[in-house]
Structure formats: structure tokens, C-alpha cells
Amino acid sequence: MKPTAWEDAAIVKGRKTLFLLRQYLKSKGASEPMGWARFASTWIWIWNWWEPAVLELELVQPVPVPNPKIWDLVGPVPVPNPKIWDLVPAGYLFQFRPVPTKSDQFQFRPVPVPDPKTRDPPVPIPVPDPEKKTNFVSPPDYRLQSQYFPAMRTGSMSPSPIAHRSMPSSLCRAEKPSVTATFLYSRSVFPLSTSLSLPSPCHSKVLFATPDADVSSETGVWAMQDFYTLRKEVEATSSRVEEIRASAGLEQLAEELTKLENATGSDSFWDDRTSAQQTLVALTDIKDKINLLSDFQSQIDDAETIVNLTEEMDSTDTALLEEAATIVKELNKALDKFELSQLLSGPYDKEGAIINITAGAGGTDAQDWADMLLRMYVRWGERQRYKTRVVEKSMGEEAGIKSATIEVEGRYAFGYLSGEKGTHRIVRQSPFNAKGLRQTSFSGVEVMPLLPEDSLNVEIPEEDLQIGFSRAGGSGGQNVNKVETAVRITHIPTGVTVRCTEERSQLANKIKALSRLKAKLLVIAVEQRATEIKQIRGDAVKADWGQQIRNYVFHPYKLVKDVRTGFETTDIVSVMDGELDPFIKSYLRYKYAESMNN
Amino acid sequence: MTNIKSFTTIGLDNLLTEFSQVTSFRKIKQMNLTSLARVSFLSTSFTSRTLNRSLAYRPISCSSLSHTPTSLNPNLPLFLRPPTFTATVSDLKKWQNWAKSLALSVGSSFADSDNGPDSDILHRELNWLIEDTLESPKSLLLSEHDAVLTLRAELGDLYSLWKQRIEKRRPFQYIVGCEHWRDLVLSVEEGVLIPRPETELIIDLVDDAIKQNVELKNGMWVDLGTGSGALAIGIGRILGDSVRVTAIDLSPIAVQVASFNVNRYNLQDKISVKQGSWFDPLSEFEGKLAGIVSNPPYIPSEHINGLQAEVGRHEPLLALDGGENGMKDLLHLCNGVALMLKSGGFFAFETNGENQCLFLVQHMETVHHGRFYNLKIVPDFAGIRRFVTGIRS
């Protein structure tokens, strides 16, 4: 695919600094941060996560360098083809544009230097060629680029026909006035309606809508296509109900129920009031759960009956079909809710979370990878509307970060994120070596609940703690003045270590580190089903927390795959933009199934 | 001559590059009015030119910044100043990015040359500077680009402050006018030693001593060479209601700053700050003191030249230089402690490390034989044997 893109080119003129450039790119719709940019004396080069060199530009006048040291220290910038700069005459204004994904397709287009006397020099802006635009179908990495340069799609791109076709029909239908369904539903004299009108929170709203509105004539015609979609949905939901009922262990529940009922029937039941109370609570819980599960079954049965009847009767009764669609929709919502409540039932799941990212061995590449992960989680947190805060960040020498800590405040943040702990592996073409070799790097992620101070009533014996203070060398004391007051605490029996650097005094850091350590130990205790911290097995902690959990392959193909659940996607860009929900959900299901099997 | 001096301090203080200072002083020597006028013109134009590159709003005069080490009125720490200035988010971010790249340019060069801060630490300091400057620190993250933030310092001042931090190696704590120490935030300024994290441990040592001998709570405690008042305030806060602490420093600035800090923590009824040399103001308490703590100057004179720039160039020599071997003041204190403490009284001194600790303990065991018991050397968190403690028999 030839680069078509000079019409997408933008111009930076005059003395633009990196920051102005960033602003400019953002105004163009690029998301922050764009990887990052580096200055050399006269040119700027920007690259993105997945590809070296996304943009390049040359400035009309070299940026005045206030302190030559700054630029020198940035160090040698890896250029895929260093010779390309030899071709560039100095003192020219260049346009910049997204570089096509293959680095050998670099192109430059020098433009004459504008007259410095005119305040706003005329800059040759390439005239868009409409012919070309229509030819611009779908370059291999169109999605990648469009993600970051949405403004460049300016209207010329019609939505992909494929996307349109695959849009679930339920979405289209959702736009119809829902009163239709309501009215017809309540009027229905179909025999099944008795079971349907059971008081269920799922469709209480629709039941009480006014039956006067008769709008069915407008929207009442059901195409066969819609019917098939509905049938498919009903089938899918049916298997989902089956799955949930199976994983919830209905038989076990029934057994438990009889056991508890027998217990309540015994003569000595009320002898111990507290245990009796507990038994009764457990009994109601189980009854509710069984009721809910059978409710799911009866609802999906109704929907299935409607579908079967319609098929047999050879004529479509719109009212019935609308009814089935409503049932399926509401049922799916209820199933989602049920699943989530089952999945996020850990004692700390509803708390906030602390994410700790540490670059693995492997220098700049790993540090860059850690930075990408940091961005990913921050994005995820923002998407969930959580209060997300990077509380500590230690920059890498050349690029990226050595470590970072994020605090995510919000309900269930820990429940969702707890499955993210472990080692994350990336495979890509390294932007940090000139040959662009394929490179594998690792970064570690730790997740702890953000527990309120008073809930940490665990006492850890002083002798189990090894407290280290980072204090940069020399003779210390009056000889040194550094604000670095990092504290690192190791729990000796388990080898669990936490670090805290963000506070401004040693004591504050120590207190915070200790509460983090406690939170971490509590979670590990829950994971290992230990009743107290003493019982935690250190060897298991090491194996568990260092486990490789997910692969992110950027090259030679694009794939993100979770090692534990097997869930995978090729849309790596969305994942790096924080679209983690499918992974999180699949892990939670996996965890739930695991716990059921045990 | 005086005219010119005041001109440079008021108008250009800290902002003149070395170049312009050299120029102006050379010219000043000629004591010629015309050249004098030209100098002022030269230097102003130079200043504005250097500044215009990065900031357009910086006024040429920056009196709010000028820190004169001899001032007797303590400067208000940045975070306590009224938020009377404003800047847009984008302007502040512009400054932040500029400051970041300046910090980045440092790399590990300071660390390599004199164990100074590296870029990482400077970035952290920058975040704290923003924290102290903004009225509501979170607003920077949450606000739109053109939103207006309220600041406690002028944006132009922030540029020059950060420049001082990097180029002159002015300590971060003097820049923001405070140091976080234990759970305290202490005001500091030029002329006052910035309390070190190591010293935090002395409070814990005192706490332990009181637990062992509750009677000590009721006696008089003394912090010798109090500086910012850190130890006195720390002790004042753990000892409870009955406590009386005297904080003593030779430096009038230190006395001012310590009093300010004591007042800020509302301990003026418990802690009295006095000016004087070591035990001089305490003659009435001979043999009556319950406890003595001190972080005296202990750096050997021969080491002063090689100190980290932040320390050697900016912190008061009076609080650092311990004479030959750094033992001059420590020995004086030792002898004084033997005289001043009551029986069962506790003392804790900070030292330069193992050698000084061993020497002190040996000195006490031989010269003051039998007067002390429970003499201990306590290491700091880095494992360096830092503190000497003991109890008067």
C-alpha cells in the first residue's frame, strides 16, 4: 500500500516546541500521550507504542536551544534509517504526517523557507485530491492510525460495511418505542402469561405502562431476519442460563438446603441463639439463590416456547415476538448482575485498588513496556469513571518508567483488577535498537486493595519485618540533603515486599508502606484460604505473584492473549487504550469456575 | 556603591546570570555614572532577554523572591502563602514541562559529581513544588486547558525558583520554605539547617526512654542547636501536657524560625526558644534537666569543601562545621551533659558516624567514668552508627 497521506499532512511552522506540537496533535484528535517525542537539534521525531516513527518533521528554523545540555543528554535517538537525515538540507520547513507502518516508506517533502519578514508565512498546504481519497480503502493499519488521528478521517470514510452488517439487530430494535411491547404484552391472552406475570424485578416497569398507546401499526412488522436473530439470541441466552445454573451447583444448593432445613427442625436448634441466627440467614440466602436460578429457567423457557410456537404456527405474532425479545433482554441483564455478584464476592472486592507496575529486566524496552502498561491501566480507570491517580512514578533513564504506583478509588476496583496481578509479556519490534529487532520484555503488575486504615487491624510482629530506607549513600546525616525518603518493607516469613516513596517524610512513607503491606498480606491470606497471616506459605506467594498471565504480541502479528483463560483479541490498540473489560470478565468467570471445581 | 547594590538585590536578585553579575561589578568599580547607567540597562535587557525565551509574563523586579540571609523576619513557607496569583492550566503546564525537561537534563550528573539529586528526585520535587503552589493540587489534573488556577506564587517566580533549584542547586526545602519531617511540616529558610530524615529517629529514642522511665515526662527537656525546632517540637508532641522543653540556638534566624514553627503547632506554652550558645542560657537548670537532645554540627572542617552543593553552598556553616574531626561541639556537649542532667536523665546526640560514636562513648567511659550508664550506639536506618544515647547515673 502506497502512502496516500499527504492530504492528511499537517504543517508545523516556525518555532514550535514539542509542547505546542503536542497541543496541535491533540487538537487533531490524537490521544495523549503520543508515545513521546524527542528533539534533536533541528528535527523532531515522534513515535508511538507499536511502530517506530509515527511522525517526523523538520522545522524551518532550528528550535533555539536554551541549554545545549538538555538535547545532548537525550542521547542517540534510534533512527531506523539514519542515512535519511543526510538527505535533509538544513533550514527547511517540512510537513509532517503519519509515517506508514513500514519504516522503509519514509518520505520527505521539503518546502522552501518562507520569507521571515512576513508574519504568517504562506505555507504550501497540499490540496486534497478527491480522486485519491476514494481510492483510500483500507491500508493494513488503518485502524491503528485512525485511533490516533481520528480527525484525519474527515468524513471521507463511510463506516465500514462489515461493521454495519455485524451490528446486533437488538441494537436497532432498541430504538423503537418500548411502549409497543408493553401494551401488547399486558394484553396478551397467551397461556404462558400466567408464569410470565410472576412478580419479577426484571420487567416490573414494562408491566405497568399504559395500554392506550397503540403504535404497533408503525413498527409491528417483523421481518423474518429479525425473527432469526431473536431465535439465535434466545438460544444463546438459554445456554447461558444452563451454564450459570450448572456452575452455581444447583444440586449442591439443594442438598445444603435440606441439610439446613433439617437443622432448623431439630429440637436443640434454638439452644444456641447466635448459631441459629446464622443458620437462618444462610437458609434465606440459599433459598433466594435457588429461587433466582429457577426464575431464570422459567423465563428462558417462556421465550423458547414463543420461538418454537412461532416456527410451528407459520405466522408471526408480533406481540409475542416483542414479548420474547423483552424477556431475553431483561433476562440477560439479570444474568449479568447475578454473575457479577457471584464473581465479585471476595471480602475486599468492593474496595479500591493500588496497582504497582515494575519494569522487568531488559533495560529501556522493559521500562517502555511498563510505561505502556501504566497508561493502559490509567485509561481503564478513567473509562470506569474511577478516581485514578498515579501516586508514584520513577522514570527510566532513556525512556519509560522503572516503576509506578496507581491508586484507583471506586467501588469494586479491586475486584476487577485483582486478576491483573502477575507478569505481562510483550513481543514487538523494538523501537530502541536501530535494527528494529523483535524483542520480548516483561513487566510485573501487583494489585492490592486500598483498605481504609481502621480495617487493617492486623498486628504483624516487629521481628517479622525488615524495614529498609533508601538513603542515597555517602555519610548521610548533615552531609546529604535529599528529599528521597523511600521506605521498603519486607515481610520476612513470606517474602512479600512493598515500597512507598510518594510521601514527603520518612515516617509518613513508613506508615503508608506498612498499611500497604498489611493489605497485601490480607489478600494473600484470602487467596490461600488462610485464616491468619501466619499461615501464608511464602513459596506459594512467589510462584503465584510472578506468574506470567498475559501476552501482548505486536509483531509479527497482533494478538493479546490471556494465558490463564485463553481469551484473546487482535485489537491490541483498544486493549492498550484500556479496553480490558473482556479480559477482566473472562478471568473472573474463570476464577469462579475454578473455585467451583475445587 | 550602595545604590547599585540595592539595585541588584531588589531588581535582579537571583536572576542575573553569572555573566551579567561579573559585568556589572567590573563596571561598578569604575564608579562612573554613565557606565553605571549603561550597566543597569545592560543587565535589565539581558535579564529580560533570557527570560523572554521561556516566559513572557515575568516582571523584571522580583522582590517577593529575594531571600536575604540576614533577614530577621521568617519567610512564610510557600504552602502557607495566600493564593493571590492566577495562571491558566496551559500556562502552568508549559512551566511544568519546561521544568521537567530542565530536571531531565540533569540526568545523573549531580549524583556523579557530589552525590546530589538525580532527575528522578528532581521530578519528585517538582511535583511537590506544584502541590505546594496550587491552592487545590488536584485542579491541575481535572481542569480544562484554559481554566484558571489560583497559585500561591507568581508563575514567573516559579520559573526563577526552579532555575535556582537546578542551576544554583538551591535546596528544594528552601525553595518551598518547608520540610516535611516526621508528621510535621516545618518552615525553613536560608540560615537554618534543614532537618534530616535520620534525625527523625531521635524522637523514637526519646519515646523509648520515656517508656522506660515515666518520670522523665515531668522534667525539663532541652534541644541544643535546635535550628528549625524540629527536635523540640517532636518531643513536645510526644511528651504530653506536662512537658517543658527549651530549644536553644546561637543563630538569630534559627531562633526566629523555630519560634515560628513552635507557634504554628501551638506549643508556645510548652516550648521556650532561647538564643545562646549551648548551655549558656541554662545556668539555672544545672543538674535538673530530664533530657538533652542535640544534632550539633559534626562535619569535620576538612570535609566542608567536598559537600553536596545543596548543603555546602546553601546551608549555614554554623550548623554543619564541627571543627577538627567534627568533634569540637560534640565533646563540649558531652561535658555539659555530665553537669546539667539530673540523675536518671537521658541524652541523645546525633554524630557523623561510627568513629565519632566510638570516640564519644570512650570519652564518656573514661573521662566521666561512672557518671553515665546504659551508653548505647544506635544505628540510623541506613545502618550507619549515628546516635549516642545514655542515662546519667
Q: Which of B147, B140, B94, B99 is nearest to A19 (CA)?
A: B94
In degrees and rounded to multiples of 5, residue B88 shows phi and psi of -80, 160
- B contact test, residue of A479, A488, A503 with most B CBs within 10 A: A479
Nearest-CB residue to A483 (from B94, B104, B125) = B125
* Of A114-118, A530-534, B182-186, B206-210, the least confident: A114-118
Q: Find residue A425's DSSP bridge partners.
A: A442, A551
**Distance of residue B303 Cα from the nearest chain A Cα, in angstroms:** 9
**Distance of residue B235 Cα from the nearest chain A Cα, in angstroms:** 15
Query: What distance in Å separates the CA atoms of residue B132 and residue B68, rounded to the nearest whole number?
Result: 22
pLDDT at A373 over 90: yes
pLDDT at A47 over 90: no
pLDDT at A374 over 90: yes
Using the beta-carbon criterion (under 8 Å), do B183 and A507 form an inter-chain contact? yes
Using the beta-carbon criterion (under 8 Å), do B310 and A481 form an inter-chain contact? yes
Q: Determine contact: A158 vs chain B, CB below 8 A.
A: no
In chain B, whose CA is at the least distance from the CA of A73? B105
- B contact test, residue of A395, A482, A500 with most B CBs within 10 A: A482
Q: Which of B94, B16, B105 is nearest to B57 (CA)?
A: B94
Nearest-CB residue to A483 (from B97, B172, B182) = B172
pLDDT band of residue A231 (cuts 50, 70, 90) is: confident
Query: What distance in Å separates the CA atoms of residue B236 and residue B256, rounded to the nearest whole number?
Result: 18
Nearest-CB residue to B180 (from A481, A484, A504) = A504
Contact between A23 and A58 (Cβ < 8 Å): no
Q: Contacts of residue B51 in chain A, CB cutoff 8 Å?
A: none
Q: Determine contact: B198 vs chain A, CB below 8 A.
A: yes
- A contact test, residue of B146, B175, B196, B355 with most A CBs within 10 A: B196
Query: What distance in Å separates the CA atoms of residue B170 and residue B69, rounded to the nearest whole number?
Result: 13
Most confident of A162-176, A206-220, A519-533, B233-247: B233-247
| Predicted pLDDT at A542 | 64
Fold of B189-392: Rossmann fold (3.40.50)
Query: What distance in Å separates the CA atoms of residue A28 and residue A23, rounded to the nearest whole number?
Result: 9
Task: Tell me the pLDDT tens digit for each residue of B328-357.
Answer: 888 888 888 888 888 888 999 999 888 888
Using the beta-carbon criterion (under 8 Å), do B124 and A483 form an inter-chain contact? yes
In chain B, whose CA is at the least distance from the CA of A39? B101
Mean pLDDT of chain A: 65
H or E stretch at B165: helix B155-167
Contact between A443 and A424 (Cβ < 8 Å): yes
Q: Determine contact: A534 vs chain B, CB below 8 A.
A: no
**Distance of residue A124 Cα from the nearest chain B Cα, in angstroms:** 28
Please report the DSSP string for A352-369 in residue order.
Answer: EEEEEEEE-SSHHHHHHH
Q: Determine contact: B355 vs chain A, CB below 8 A.
A: no
**Distance of residue B110 Cα from the nearest chain A Cα, in angstroms:** 12
In chain B, whose CA is at the least distance from the CA of A392? B124
* Set of cell numbers at residue B361: 562513648
In chain A, whose CA is at the least distance from the CA of B319? A478
In chain A, whose CA is at the least distance from the CA of B354? A475
Q: Determine contact: B308 vs chain A, CB below 8 A.
A: yes
Most confident of A32-36, A536-540, A592-596: A592-596
Task: Tell me the pLDDT tens digit for each residue of A163-192.
Answer: 333 333 333 333 333 333 333 333 333 333
- Provide the strand spans (E) within A451-511: 465-469, 487-491, 496-500
pLDDT band of residue A561 (cuts 50, 70, 90) is: very high
Mean pLDDT of chain B: 77
| Predicted pLDDT at A23 | 52
* Encoded amino acid at A593, one letter: A
| Predicted pLDDT at B231 | 92
In chain B, whose CA is at the least distance from the CA of A468? B381
Structural domain boundaries in chain B = 12-30+78-176, 189-392
| Predicted pLDDT at A27 | 55
- B contact test, residue of A74, A394, A478 with most B CBs within 10 A: A478
**Distance of residue B3 Cα from the nearest chain A Cα, in angstroms:** 32
Query: What distance in Å separates the CA atoms of residue A140 and residue A148, rounded to the nearest whole number?
Result: 15
Question: What three-state secondary structure class fits A482?
Answer: coil
* Set of cell numbers at residue B308: 553536596
**Distance of residue B181 Cα from the nearest chain A Cα, in angstroms:** 5
Q: Based on the number of CB atoms within 10 Å of its own CB, is B71 exposed (0-12), middle (13-18) or buried (19 or more)?
A: middle
Nearest-CB residue to A506 (from B194, B197, B353) = B197
* Encoded amino acid at A163, one letter: A
Contact residues, B window 100-129, toward A, CB-based 8 Å cutoff: 101-102, 104-105, 107, 111, 115-117, 119-121, 123-125, 128
Contact residues, B window 134-193, toward A, CB-based 8 Å cutoff: 141, 171-173, 180-184, 193
Q: Contacts of residue A394 in chain B, CB cutoff 8 Å?
A: 120
- A contact test, residue of B54, B106, B124, B181 with most A CBs within 10 A: B124
CA end-to-end span of chain A: 53
Query: What distance in Å separates the CA atoms of residue A444 and residue A501, rounded to the nearest whole number?
Result: 18
**CA A189 to the chain's CA centroid:** 46
Using the beta-carbon criterion (under 8 Å), do A471 and B172 form an inter-chain contact? no
Alpha carbon separation from A367 to A13, A376, A426, B187 (Å, rounded)? 33, 14, 12, 37
What mean pLDDT is predicted for residues A6-11?
28
Encode chain B (393 residues) as per-residue pLDDT tens digits: 444 444 433 333 343 333 344 444 444 444 443 333 333 333 333 333 333 333 333 333 333 343 433 333 457 888 888 888 888 888 888 888 888 888 888 877 887 888 888 888 888 888 888 888 887 766 666 666 777 888 888 888 888 889 888 888 899 999 888 888 888 889 998 889 999 888 888 998 998 888 888 888 888 899 998 989 999 999 988 887 777 899 999 989 899 899 999 998 888 888 899 898 888 888 888 888 889 999 999 988 888 888 888 888 888 988 888 888 888 888 888 888 888 888 888 999 999 888 888 888 888 888 888 888 888 898 887 778 889 999 988
pTM over 0.90: no
pLDDT at A377 over 90: yes
**Distance of residue B41 Cα from the nearest chain A Cα, in angstroms:** 22
| Predicted pLDDT at A222 | 56
Nearest-CB residue to A395 (from B93, B119, B184) = B119
| Predicted pLDDT at B297 | 92
Contact between B8 and B16 (Cβ < 8 Å): yes
Question: What three-state secondary structure class fits B271?
Answer: strand
Q: Determine contact: B295 vs chain A, CB below 8 A.
A: yes
In chain B, whose CA is at the least distance from the CA of A401? B120
Nearest-CB residue to A478 (from B119, B200, B298) = B298
**CA A293 to the chain's CA centroid:** 30
Q: Which of B208, B202, B287, B279 is nearest to B246 (CA)?
A: B279
Q: Contacts of residue B381 in chain A, CB cutoff 8 Å?
A: 467-469, 471, 506
Q: Determine contact: B349 vs chain A, CB below 8 A.
A: no
Using the beta-carbon criterion (under 8 Å), do A505 and B180 form an inter-chain contact? yes
Task: Tell me the pLDDT tens digit for each residue of A120-139.
Answer: 444 443 444 444 433 333 33
Query: What distance in Å separates the CA atoms of residue A396 and residue A74, rounded to the nearest whole number?
Result: 12
Q: Find residue B185's DSSP bridge partners.
A: B180
**Distance of residue B308 Cα from the nearest chain A Cα, in angstroms:** 6
pLDDT band of residue A418 (cuts 50, 70, 90) is: confident
Q: Determine contact: A134 vs chain B, CB below 8 A.
A: no
Query: What distance in Å separates the CA atoms of residue A444 and residue B264, rounded to the nearest whole number?
Result: 44
**Distance of residue A398 Cα from the nearest chain B Cα, in angstroms:** 10
Q: Based on the number of CB atoms within 10 Å of its own CB, is A416 exposed (0-12), middle (13-18) or buried (19 or more)?
A: buried
Task: Tell me the pLDDT tens digit for each residue of A297-343.
Answer: 888 888 888 888 777 776 667 777 888 888 888 888 888 777 777 77
Contact between A13 and A3 (Cβ < 8 Å): no
Q: Determine contact: B95 vs chain A, CB below 8 A.
A: no
* ipTM of the complex model: 0.75
In chain B, whose CA is at the least distance from the CA of A507? B182
- B contact test, residue of A481, A488, A489 with most B CBs within 10 A: A481
Using the beta-carbon criterion (under 8 Å), do A478 and B102 form an inter-chain contact? no
Q: Determine contact: A471 vs chain B, CB below 8 A.
A: yes
Query: What distance in Å separates the CA atoms of residue B239 and residue B262, rounded to the nearest whole number?
Result: 15
| Predicted pLDDT at A406 | 92
Q: Determine contact: A468 vs chain B, CB below 8 A.
A: yes
Q: Which of A332, A325, A326, A333 is nearest to A230 (CA)?
A: A325
Q: Contacts of residue A475 in chain B, CB cutoff 8 Å?
A: 352-353, 384
